[in-house]
Amino acid sequence: MVYIISIANYPQHLSEEVGKAYIEAMKEVPGDRSISKPVIPAAIQTGPEGFKVTVISSVKEGKLREALDLATKRMLFFAKIKGFRYTVETAYDAVEAMAFIGMKAPDV
């Protein structure tokens, strides 16, 4: 399984602006379960730097490019907000990762 992990950071005073951008992004770029499925739709943390939002989606077989495009298109709605920072990353589960080195992951 491959995952897309989007992590956003922004100061607390931008909450309303980020919230409005989120609503717009979800309307304009809705999820597509034929491409990816939310595992963690949004995990929100607070700290001295403001908010940190983590979104994790599992990617359907052969749909990585489409899933990355979808995640990036959504994040571009926030890019215009000064002080908003984000990353979009991929990660492999243990089964996929161990196959790279010619091993099989143990059953958990």
pLDDT for 104 equals 85
Among 45, 40, 42, 44, residue whose Cα is nearest residue 25: 42
Would the pLDDT of 108 be above 90? no
To which residue do tokens 């920072």 refer? Answer: 85
Q: Mean of the pLDDT values across residues 75-89?
A: 95
- Band (pLDDT 50/70/90 cuts) for residue 56 is very high
Q: Which CATH class is domain 2-100?
A: alpha beta
Task: Supply φ then ψ for residue 83, to 5 degrees.
Answer: 100, -10
Would the pLDDT of 94 be above 90? no
The pTM of the full predicted model, rounded to 2 decimals, is 0.87
What are the structural domain ranges in the chain? 2-100
Task: Look at residue 5 and give its three-state secondary structure.
Answer: strand
Residue 75's identity, in one-letter code, is M
